[in-house]
Structure 1
Amino acid sequence: MNGPAPASRGLVRPGSTIGILGGGQLGRMLALAAAQLGYRTHVFVPEADSPTAQVAAAATVARYDDLDALSRFAAAVDVVTFEFENVPAATAQHLAALRPIHPSPSVLAIAQDRLAEKRFLNGIGVATAPFRAVATPAELEAALRELGRPAVLKTVRLGYDGKGQSMIRADGDAAAAFAVLGGADGILEGFVDFRMEASVVVARTAVGDVAPYVPVENRHVHHILDTTIAPAAIPAALAEEAVATACRIARALDLVGLLAVEMFVTRDDRILVNELAPRPHNSGHWTMDACRTSQFEQHVRAVCGLPLGSTERHSDAVMKNLIGDEVEGWLEALCDPAAKLHLYGKAAARPGRKMGHVNRLYPRAG
């Protein structure tokens, strides 16, 4: 066998069971990719009939703080990963004492805390929007004087798809914005005049191999990702910088698994990193149909110590999320020869709920 020995790679052989924390659509697509490589999956999730449980070989339905259930789950799997980064720290640490878990609890700790994330990034020389920690209304007023208006106030922990954050405009009420935090610690970020939101998904193995995908453009509606365009229409030098930045972050984290690096491309062609997601990501769904290796297969390869697959794209792509009632267009998508439909098995469509996505493929340009 060429390359590092299986033990040093953290090799988990096909036929083994991958434990997945979280039962959403990311876990569902991860479980399907794992099955193609010969693995079983066992999902740990608080809710019954989750999208992941529908396709996994086994499911444990229990709270994340149920240590007995976590121990039984660990005994039934060979390696653990997760499909969302807000797994409680105590849960990750308990499992880490019993089974390999990728990415590690230390990576989770950074990704779960916006202040820790920004400080980590700045500490390795990666540029972000300017920011200040705010725990009181007085600290918020002081931070606004330093960073100026408009600015964005966010909770330090939790929050996604625009939840837990508010814009403070020139005439905005800072006290009202602070009240939105609901007593949680906050972070104020200076407003970035960007021309594009972009992201790079990169995989890394235990022996340090990295494999990035091309940068993509992300377009949001009501703070929820609506469309991803692959590749992003940015100059080649800027695309190379974005990829190099993502790889640098993955190495500095000592990541094992997949990392999505969300970025702003400013009007003067600078890259500012916004957030990190150490898991498969909505902006990587296009890889399922346009690349030799999907982000989900790549994550399985990384956490199981397998060689990483090629990230080459054979087509350009546009990924469109089906949000809420948009899922009713599923039949139209099936009639489109350029489209690939992916539905998540969710019973009820609600406003803002991601029900599926459609990848449309186009001849590769360049």
Structure 2
Amino acid sequence: MSELKPGATIGILGGGQLGRMLSVAASRLGYRCHVYEPGAAPAGDVAHRLTTAPYEDQAALRAFAESVDVITYEFENVPTAALDLLESLRPIRPNRRALAVSQDRLSEKDFLTGIGLCTAPYRNVETEADLPEALAALGAPAILKTRRLGYDGKGQIRFSDAGHRDWTGAPSVLEGFVDFSAEISVIVARGADGQVAAYDPGLNVHREGILRTTTVPCGLSAGLLTDAVLIAARIVNALDYIGVMGVELFVTAEGLVVNEIAPRVHNSGHWTQAGCAVDQFEQHIRAVAGLPLGDGQRYADVEMQNLIGDDVLRLPELLKQPRMQVHLYGKGDARPGRKMGHVNRVL
């Protein structure tokens, strides 16, 4: 794979905050970005070009693909038919296999266990009629998650006992209880030449199913940190991956358990903007453009905090604080649960 020259155009599927920050990183390396987004697009404020059209619009998809040199994405739930058309015209990085695995929680868990990694115990729950048997097998507490489209705690039902009360309304996976002391994530990159580079694992704190903070260093032993990086490397190598991936892990008394993977830049990697010479967004652009991966060594301790909903009203206070880096996403309506921005505080 030859590297993209400055002036080339990178297509990004999805126009949210991740696409916005990818566009900024690409511009620093001399690339233009063309964003394709069916709805509101914060990335459109900074990208070179924006196409606003549904993923079912084949003419718009074709015109988009023909205007770019390579295609990447900021979220994984792009319809298969759209990907089929785009892939016939331009390379997609990361590849389609990574998307297929991550779009379906059952496929993801089957893939992870198939390469020898530990996940939560799970059962496929194709219909509501399958749920009692799955609950009997795994016991309670347990979490029922839709196989597709769930994120930030959406599409999930928690069962505190084995009684059958609710149903997601779609094919799902029932996950058994994991007794964990912490959740960490590894942001890992793999280049077109097979080189793998990982950032230091970060400690994640969630509330109401939404990531609130990520802190590095995460405070784990050197042995567990090494294990976390090796797990992430095994995943990207098994997928022949090109780009940045987020790998979420539970820390248990028996070792590390993979919670989920995200085949894209990840919220828990935003701290790299203040802690590393090359952040996760530039690293992803380097990978999909065929450039050498950058130096992801951490040179500062950092806490990333998401600004959720009305948190953004604290902006005047945050701007006065020392060693504080503010990133706003250009969203107008501060709805409850909506990610409006984040801050990176150098500790």
TM over 0.5: yes
Is 1:85 the equivalent of 2:82?
no
Segments of 5+ residues of structure 1 without an aligned counterpart are 1-7
1:263-314: CA deviation from partner (whole Å, max 9, x where unpaired): 1111x15100011101010000000111111000000000000000011011
Name the structure 2 match of 1:199: 185
Q: How does 1:121-270 map to 2 (within 5 A)?
A: 121-170=112-161, 173-176=163-166, 178=167, 181-182=168-169, 184-266=170-252, 268-270=253-255
Say whether 1:55 aligns with 2:46: yes
> Residue type matched to 1:215 in 2?
P
- Rounded to whole Å, the distance in 2 between the matches of 1:168 and 1:175 is 9
Letter matched to residue 87 of structure 2: A
Task: Provide the aligned C-alpha RMSD in A.
Answer: 1.0
CA distance in 2, matches of 1:269, 1:135: 30
Which residue in 2 is equivalent to 1:114?
Answer: 105
Pairing 1:294–2:279 present: yes
Distance 2:102 2:50 in 1: 26
| Distance of 1:175 and 1:329 partners within structure 2 | 40
Aligned counterpart, 1:14: 6
Over the matched positions of the two proteins, sequence identity in percent amounts to 56
User: 2: CA distance between counterparts of 1:340 and 1:238?
Assistant: 29
Describe the superposition over 1:138-179 as per-residue Cα deviations: whole angstroms up to 9, x where unpaired: 321111111111011000111100000111112x64232x2x
2:276 paired with 1:284: no
In structure 1, what is the Cα distance between the partners aligned to 2:35 and 2:338? Answer: 21
- 8 Å Cα contact 1:203/1:257 also seen in 2: yes
Q: Which residue number in structure 1 is paired with residue 303 of structure 2?
A: 318
CA distance in 2: counterparts of 1:284 and 1:86, whole angstroms: 20
Q: What is the CA–CA distance in structure 2 between the aligned matches of 1:69 and 1:327, rounded to whole Å?
A: 35
Aligned-partner Cα distance in 2 for 1:282–1:137 = 33
Contact persistence 1:28–1:52 (CA under 8 A): yes
Worse-superposed segment, 342-351 or 84-93: 84-93
Distance in 2, matches of 1:281 and 1:313, equals: 17
Residue aligning to 1:5: none
After superposition, the Cα gap between the structure-2 partners of 1:330 and 1:269, relative to the gap in structure 1 and judged at 3 Å, is: farther
Deviates more, 1:300-309 or 1:103-112: 103-112
Q: 1:88 Cα shift? A: 1.1
Distance 1:173 1:23 in 2: 41
Give the match's secondary structure for 2:233: helix
CA distance in 2 between partners of 1:189 and 1:109 (Å):
20
* CA distance in 2: counterparts of 1:310 and 1:269, whole angstroms: 32
Query: What is the aligned partner in structure 2 of residue 352 from structure 1?
Result: 337
CA distance in 2 between counterparts of 1:244 and 1:167 reads: 31
Equivalent residue of 2:92, what SS? coil
Give the CA deviation at 1:252.
0.2
Distance 1:347 1:296 in 2: 24
Give the Cα separation in 1 of the matches to 2:81 and 2:243.
Answer: 20
1:35 equivalent to 2:27? Answer yes
Query: Counterpart of 2:55 in 1: which secondary structure?
Result: coil
The letter of the residue matching 1:158 is L
Are 1:99 and 2:90 counterparts? yes
> Which blocks of at least 5 consecutive residues in structure 2 are unaligned?
none
SS of aligned partner of 1:101: coil
Map 1:304-343; keep pairs closer than 5 Å: 304-343=289-328
Deviation at 1:232, TM superposition (A): 1.1
CA distance in 2, matches of 1:214, 1:288: 13
State the SS of the aligned residue for 1:196. Answer: strand
Deviation at 1:61, TM superposition (A): 0.5
SS at match of 1:119: helix
Alignment-derived partner of residue 60 in structure 2? 69
Shift in Å, 1:136: 2.7
**Number of residues paired by the alignment?**
347
Q: CA deviation at 1:205?
A: 1.2
SS at match of 1:195: strand
User: C-alpha distance in 1, partners of 2:240/2:56?
Assistant: 27
SS in 1 for 2:258: strand
What CA deviation, in whole Å up to 9, does each residue of 1:85-138 have, x standing for no partner? 111122122111100110111210100000000000000001101100012333
